[in-house]
Amino acid sequence: MIPVVGYKGHQIAVLGLGRSGLATARALREGGAIPICWDDNPAARAAAEDEGFAIKELAKQGAFEGITSLIVSPGIPHLYPTPNPVVKAALAAGVAVDNDIGLFFRSFATRDWDKFDTLPKVVAVTGSNGKSTTSALIHHVLEAANRPCQLAGNIGRGVLDIDPAIDGEVVVLELSSYQTDLARSLTPDIAVFTNLSPDHLDRHAGMGGYFAAKRRLFAEGGPDRAVIGIDEDEGLYLANQLSEGLADDRVIRMSVDQKLTGPGWQVFAKKGFLSEYRKGKQVGSIDLRSVKGLPGVHNHQNACAAYAVCRALGLAPRVIEQAFHSFAGLPHRSQIIAEAGGVTYVNDSKATNVDAAAKALGAFKKIRWICGGLQKDGGLEAVQAATGEVVKAYVIGREAATFAMQLGGVEAEVCTDMETAVAKAVAEAQEGETVLLAPAAASFDQYDSFEKRGDHFAELVKAQLS
């Protein structure tokens, strides 16, 4: 646990008592603060009461009297699409609003660090797609290189749940826009921007607000080094803002769309080959085509980001390459779950938006595509250009018929439920084909989470093949 500093003896309100909210309350109490907790869910309130935390309905008039700060769990919208009443009450009362990420960055460093030979570092990874795989891959490479490290944030443990740092340790954080847009302190040593595509637009009132939430990690944080994907206009703009010119190697530019050269520091992947250039000269390369845990261009982008971070941390290219080959990938992200009769079965349930689904479709050949669910804003136009390898689509979800109608030029069968889709795809798949779950939609019309959707797909595939 990371005890929260700076609030000893102060009453701190905690809104939302899920995994991160309870961890925040514990860390506040460990640091001497007095947590005052609230959640609309009675079961969550009961769990907090069982741990001895005070419960107070924060939306009531005068609830913020004597409160120093309000800590909001990342899943709770605070401003858009409509202001949260508790957050609005805190703002009106002049109470500082923060989240667990802000508390982490103000509390992580301690006086014990004065005894360390090598100061700990924090790597923070954000972006629309690939941040989980990138974060896990960085952590995997560091472990393989015998560097002390921890993985936390939107993946692994909550940020305040991790252990206090030891000499030379690296903490790798995956941070979503929900976590970056409210944190009052953001001070990573290395920050990564993978890419940007439409997502969570209601939460951020459009693409501008969404990008602004991501940008805060760099503009507010001032990292010593930034790894920026420049294949979208926003990344190109961000790299320009953070550097004094192409020769400024505090910014490592990365791409999977173009070869990058020039006087600065660049990492790019073309046709399955990762290349690192510094001062106009190639200084490292990796053949990614044989790295089984990183299939497709989207994973090659993740590899570029992880490689750049690990190089910035002082690891040699061959050490990184060796670790890449032992990376098994993450569940629900281009995860090969079975191979039978010459057919490969892939679970990419994490492809909850059209950009992620398009990248998954680009990673495989001869695809029987299981898709559909709770469609997000923006339609399916962005994914249609990536359907060239789709043999047939099997559409699930409550609005499967509407979803299927948008797949112009693709043979599509409305299946509605996962059981029907998997049974038909398995029965019709031919040798050399891939059955791919890449929904291009959220799961909440039928499942509690994308993980449960992916697990159900895997269970059904294995049952069909047994």
Phi-psi region at 447: left, alpha or beta (left = phi > 0; alpha = psi -120 to 50): beta
Place of tokens 């991160």: 20
Place of tokens 């190109």: 236
Mean pLDDT lowest among 50-54, 232-236, 351-355: 351-355
Q: How far apart are CA 104 and CA 86, in angstroms?
A: 22
Which residues are annotated binding-site positions?
A: 127-133
Work out the widest C-alpha separation in the chain, in whole angstroms. 68
Q: How far apart are CA 84 and CA 79, in angstroms?
A: 6
Cβ-Cβ contacts under 8 Å for 466 (sequence gap 6 or more):
none
If pLDDT is split at 50, 70 and 90, which confidence band does 126 have?
A: very high
What type of residue is 195?
A: N
Q: Structural domains in the chain? A: 11-98 (3.40.50.720), 108-325 (3.40.1190.10), 335-465 (3.90.190.20)
Q: What is the per-residue pLDDT for 198?
A: 82
303-306, long-range: CB within 8 Å, 24+ apart, which pairs? Answer: 303/137, 303/269, 303/274, 304/229, 304/254, 304/255, 304/256, 304/267, 304/268, 304/269, 304/274, 305/125, 305/130, 305/134, 305/192, 305/194, 305/227, 305/229, 305/254, 305/267, 306/134, 306/137, 306/138, 306/141
| pLDDT score of 284 more than 90 | yes
Place of tokens 């009675």: 42
Mean pLDDT lowest among 32-36, 404-408, 421-425: 404-408
Mean pLDDT lowest among 28-32, 197-201, 322-326, 370-374: 197-201
Helix (H, G, I), strand (E, B), or coil: what is residue 429?
Answer: coil
CB 136 within 8 A of CB 154: no
CB 142 within 8 A of CB 206: no
Q: How far apart are CA 399 and CA 99, in angstroms?
A: 36
| pLDDT score of 139 more than 90 | yes
Q: What is the per-residue pLDDT for 2?
A: 97
Range 94-113 average pLDDT? 97
| pLDDT score of 328 more than 90 | no
Which residues are annotated binding-site positions for ATP?
A: 127-133
Cβ-Cβ contacts under 8 Å for 287 (sequence gap 6 or more):
272, 273, 274
Q: What is the per-residue pLDDT for 433?
A: 98
